[in-house]
Amino acid sequence: MLGRAVQVLSEKKEPFLGLIITISNHYPFPVPVDSVDTYPRPVLAPSKSPFDPSRTVPWGFYPHFIQTVHYADEALGMFFEEASARPWFRHTLFVLFGDH
């Protein structure tokens, strides 16, 4: 989505206002099947559900949450890398915020 956002913003007449909202690090923590999780996750006891609160780490979903935060961080880095090559980048104000 962020890669597409750079393309869409580049097609806009300046000045423009863009708003991008990502929610990949919210339950049920969807990440693309081809994403690479390089963040080491703790080993968990077997469970029927990855969100089982009886898992051996605090919050049964913790490793899945961490994976999506890592994914969002990488995607944001790629967004800024690609956007920095665009003419509008040098005079654009980027505001990043959490949803809570």
DSSP sequence for 18-29: ------TTSTT-
> Can you give the pTM of this predicted structure?
0.70
Q: How far is residue 70's CA from residue 76's CA, in Å, rounded to a whole number?
A: 10
Asked whether the beta carbons of 4 and 82 are under 8 A apart, the reply is: no
Top pLDDT among 76 and 39 is at: 76
The overall average pLDDT reported for the chain is 78
**Cβ neighbours, 10 Å, residue 25:** 20
Q: How far is residue 52's CA from residue 10's CA, in Å, rounded to a whole number?
A: 44
Band the pLDDT of 6: cuts 50, 70, 90: very high
Question: Which pair of structure tokens corresponds to residue 57?
Answer: 């780490």
Per-residue pLDDT at 72: 84
